[in-house]
Amino acid sequence: MSGPLDGFDAAACIDRLAEQTSRAIRGLGRRGAVVATSGGIDSSVAAGIAVRALGAGKVLLLRLPERDVGDSSSHLAAELAESLGARSVEQPITDALEGLGCYSQRDEAIREVFPDYRPDWKHKLVRSAPSASITVFSLVVERPDGTREQRRMPPGAYLTLLAATNMKQRVRKLCEYTWADRLSYAVIGTPNLLEYDQGFFVKGGDGLADVKPIAGLYKGQVYAVARELGLPESIASRAPTTETFSLPQSQEEFYFGYSYERMDELMWGHAHGVEPAELAPRVGLSADEVGVAYAEIDRRRTATAYLHAPAVLFEPET
């Protein structure tokens, strides 16, 4: 049985995506590309493809740090820009988020769960393990003495927290399009296949772009492309993160419930009609657990259909 990486030709993939990206940007009548880079694997590969498609002189890499994440991602993104030979601009967004109430609304939501919470405590959101039941979310806080505590979030507090933190993605996108307008450039989106298919993006935030070069690539394929592009090892080997909360947080514990390697295989098996019992040995799960994963893939597609939906238009009056 094959899988998402079997027979994958990273060099040919880069050539194809670069040609398609160049053609798409020309078709939009734009002169270059803006890519918001976090030092993560997806934005770095998208930037590398844009440079391959257009040349380094027609690509602007934006670094948009904020206080919860700190400067480490911006430093990695600067290293990426130097590696690619592209222009890079840092534009911190902390003040904008402060003015919009992102942090105060976030703190309000956290205090519904931890009344003694203080803004200097680190925190993150985690999901329950995959099961045949509904997914529930819990809040983890780290007190100044280093102790951590986890409590389940009620629906209202959960939605308030998400709404507040989604501002980060939307403010970043505002900056991207402001620069794109200024330069007559297109905005490059950075979701991979797992994120795009499963709705792991913010509507009007990181889900908004003019061209999404890697939305058809499994995560493992993105890593293979990074190595073929010769991206810095600090980026090409970096584990996926959410870049949202102040505590380190993997995409597995926040959204997917599985490592990206296992999620790739599950998505591939589901897409190719592989029976759970056949896929189970390959992913180290039981047939029943694979069945649960398949069902969750379908549930997420249904739950996030709104994120993919365009604006609803009505026929004009005749």
Say how far apart CA 290 and CA 275 lie, in whole Å: 9
Residue 242's pLDDT is what? 82
Kind of pairing between the strands at 122-127 and 186-187:
unpaired
pLDDT at 241: 85
CB 19 within 8 A of CB 53: yes
What pLDDT is stored for residue 243 in this prediction? 82
Q: Given this model, what pLDDT does residue 194 score?
A: 98
Tally of CB atoms within 10 A around 204: 13
Q: What is the pLDDT of residue 2?
A: 84
Amino acid 70: pLDDT: 76
- What confidence score (pLDDT) does residue 73 get? 82
- Domains along the chain? 10-98+162-305 (3.40.50.620), 101-161 (no CATH)
DSSP H or E stretch at residue 151: strand 148-152
pLDDT at 72: 77
Q: Where are the alpha helices (DSSP H) in the chain?
A: 10-27, 41-54, 72-84, 94-100, 102-111, 155-183, 193-197, 219-229, 233-236, 251, 260-271, 276-283, 287-303, 305-308
pLDDT reported for residue 71:
77
**What values do phi and psi take at 127, rounded to 5?**
-100, 165
Burial of 39 per CB tally in 10 Å (0-12, 13-18, 19+): buried
Rounded average pLDDT per 10-residue block, the chain, 318 residues:
92 98 98 96 98 98 92 88 97 98 98 96 96 94 96 97 97 98 98 98 97 98 98 93 89 96 98 98 97 97 97 93
pTM for this prediction: 0.95
Give dist(CA 162, CA 263) in Å, integer.
23
